[in-house]
Amino acid sequence: MSRDTITVSEVFGPTVQGEGAVIGKPTVFVRTGGCDYRCVWCDSKYAVLPEYRGEWRRMSPGEVFWEVQDLSGGRPILVTLSGGNPALQPLSGLIDLGREGGYTFAVETQGTVAPGWFRDLDYLTLSPKPPSSGMGTDWAKLERCLEAAGEGTSTVFKVVVFDDADYGYAREVAARYPGVPMYLQVGNDEPPGPGVEPEPDVGRLLGRYEWLVEKVLADGWNEVTVLPQLHVLLWGNKRAV
């Protein structure tokens, strides 16, 4: 296999982006396999845990792009590179192919690995993980991700918020990097298990969203954007919608 081979968990779409700075935008997802984190509330363990490796495919950039084109009907669309942690993958060849065809690219990653191809993205969402994830933050690595993206990539932060501790963490991220737009996302703690797609308690998720909105407004944190997970409200925890 070539060093440029990409580990792919799934390719699906078109759908709409369910979260972050491009929420609602039509997109095709390329979900890569493998991650350097183990968040307790991860909603895509099938793209993270080694026991799922048998389901992953090793694909060339051309093979991945062919599937993207097939799904989009050959019409340029936003390609969302997700995971797992897509920053672990050699995605520059795929991005180059897509750009030649008029496609645009977005990535979401926790900010632990800073590949050079960050500078070739249209959108980069850095989503450092709050206390509820069970993971810590290496601020130096996060800083390197910002530097790798440079000024040509539209870069934002997104923090998942379940509780007061997560909210305080989000405020800390915003204070450290006041020039980077901040998005808050309500947490969904009902991820799908092996062979199971539990329906989320939409009422509880909306209640948590209302709590978060009220907290932001009470603090006068007027620079932040507060979002639900749109795809969860529409389709629950189903895969590959």
Helix (H) or strand (E) holding 217: helix 202-219
Parallel, antiparallel, or unpaired for β 57-59 and 6-16? antiparallel
> Distance between CA atoms of 65 and 97, rounded to whole angstroms?
7
pLDDT of 196 reads: 45
- Sorted by sequence, the CB contacts under 8 Å of residue 13 that are 6+ apart come out as 27, 28, 29, 71, 72, 77
Digits of tens for pLDDT over the chain (241 positions)? 467 899 999 999 999 887 888 888 999 999 999 999 999 989 889 999 999 999 999 999 999 999 999 999 999 999 999 999 999 999 999 999 999 999 999 999 999 999 999 999 999 999 999 999 999 999 999 999 999 999 999 999 999 999 999 999 999 999 999 999 999 998 876 554 444 445 667 677 788 889 999 999 999 999 999 997 765 555 555 555 4
> Distance between CA atoms of 102 and 224, rounded to whole angstroms?
31
pLDDT of 43 reads: 83
- If you ran DSSP here, which 8-state letter would residue 50 be given? G
Other residues' Cβ atoms within 10 Å of the Cβ of residue 204: 13
**Architecture of the domain made up of 6-235:** Alpha-Beta Barrel (3.20)
Phi and psi dihedrals of 115, rounded to 5? -70, 155
> Distance between CA atoms of 173 and 159, rounded to whole angstroms?
9
Identify the bridge partners of residue 158 per DSSP, sorted by sequence position: 183
> Distance between CA atoms of 132 and 126, rounded to whole angstroms?
17
Cα 193 to chain center, whole Å? 19
> Distance between CA atoms of 83 and 87, rounded to whole angstroms?
9
